[in-house]
Amino acid sequence: MKTKILTLLSITFFYAASAVAQDYAFKVLVNKGSNELKNGDVWQPIKTGASLKSGDELKLSDNAYIGLVHANGKPIELKQAGNYKVADLAAKVSGSGSSVLNKYTDFILSSNSAEAKKNRLSATGAVHRGEATAIQILLPENQHADVYNSSVVIAWDANKIEGPYIVVINNMFGDELAKIETPESSLRVDLSDAKFASENAVLVQVSAKADPNKKSAEKLVKKMAPAQKDKIKVSLGEIQSNVAEQTALNKLFLASFYEENRLYIDAVTAYEEAIRLAPDVAYYKESYEDFLIRNGMKR
C-alpha cells in the first residue's frame, strides 16, 4: 500500500513539474523595435521578460531584433520583420537545449531589472578612491586575472583621450613581449601566439600615442592552471553545444557563465563579441556596462 502511495505521489509530482515547465514556450530576453505580441485577439507591445505561450503570435517591425529562450533553455534570435507563430518557433527547437541555461536566463533578466539599473546609476555616481588614470583598462583586480580561453579581448575606456593607442604587453620581469598600435578602444590578443606561449602571465598597459604620459594602470592577465581549466571545461561543456552558434544572444549566455565562475576577462571578451555581432542592439551595451560596474572594473 505504501509503495502504491509513493508511486502515485511520484506520478503526481512529475505531472505537476511538467505542467510548470510547459507553462510557457519562450521568455523574451532582448527586445529592440516596435514589436508586438498577440495573446488571444489582442495585439500589445512586447516587454523584456515576457513569457510567450504556444498559442501566441509575434510581430516584428522593420529593423527589429528579439532574443528568445525556449523553456528547454535553447536561445533563438529573430531579426527579420514579419509575423511568427510561437508554436512554429517552438517546433524548431523542440528536443534541443539544456535546462542548465535556465539559471542564466534568470540571471540575465534580473540584471536588466529596474532595481539593477538603479544600482548601476548609484555606483556610477559614487566617489571612487582608487588610482586615477587617464585611460581606464577594463580588466579585473589581480586575484581575478585568470583566463580560460587563449584568445581574449583587452578593452579600455579612454574617456576624452583620443586614439591611436599603444598597447604594451610585458612579461612578469618587465621585458617587452609586444607593442601594438591601434585606433580602436580594444584589442584581441592570442595568448597561444609564439610571443606569449611560454608565459603563464603577462602585464598589459595602454597609453595614448600622442602623449605617453596618458596611460592606464598596468594589469595582469593570467593563464589558468591545467587542473582549474579541466574543471571549467566540464561545466562549460554542459551548455556549450547549445550556444555554439556565433550569435550575440549566445555570447550573452557565455558572458554570464564566465561571470559566475569569476572569469571576468573571458566575460569581457564575450560581451565585446556580442556587441560586435549586434552593434545596433543597445541591450548588449547596457548589459556590458552593468557587468563592468557591478564587478568593479569601471567607475
- Domains assigned to the chain: 21-97 (no CATH), 114-126+226-294 (no CATH), 136-223 (2.60.40.10)
Which grid coordinates belong to 62? 522593420
pTM of the model: 0.85
- What does the alpha-carbon distance between residue 260 and residue 110 come to, in Å, rounded to a whole number? 14
pLDDT score for 9: 43
- What does the alpha-carbon distance between residue 29 and residue 27 come to, in Å, rounded to a whole number? 6
Which grid coordinates belong to 151? 584568445
- What does the alpha-carbon distance between residue 63 and residue 65 come to, in Å, rounded to a whole number? 7
Burial of residue 206 (number of CB atoms within 10 Å: 0-12, 13-18, 19+): buried
pLDDT score for 14: 37
- What does the alpha-carbon distance between residue 284 and residue 299 come to, in Å, rounded to a whole number? 19
Average pLDDT per 10 consecutive residues for the chain, totaling 299 residues: 43 39 82 92 91 94 94 91 94 72 85 64 50 84 95 91 95 96 96 95 97 94 95 89 90 95 96 96 94 91
Question: 3-state class of 283 per DSSP?
Answer: helix
Q: Which amino acid makes up residue 162?
A: E
Strand partners, 78: 66
Count other C-beta atoms under 10 Å from residue 34's C-beta.
13
Kind of pairing between the strands at 82-85 and 42-45: unpaired
Strand partners, 146: 222
pLDDT score for 240: 82
pLDDT score for 58: 94
pLDDT score for 7: 39
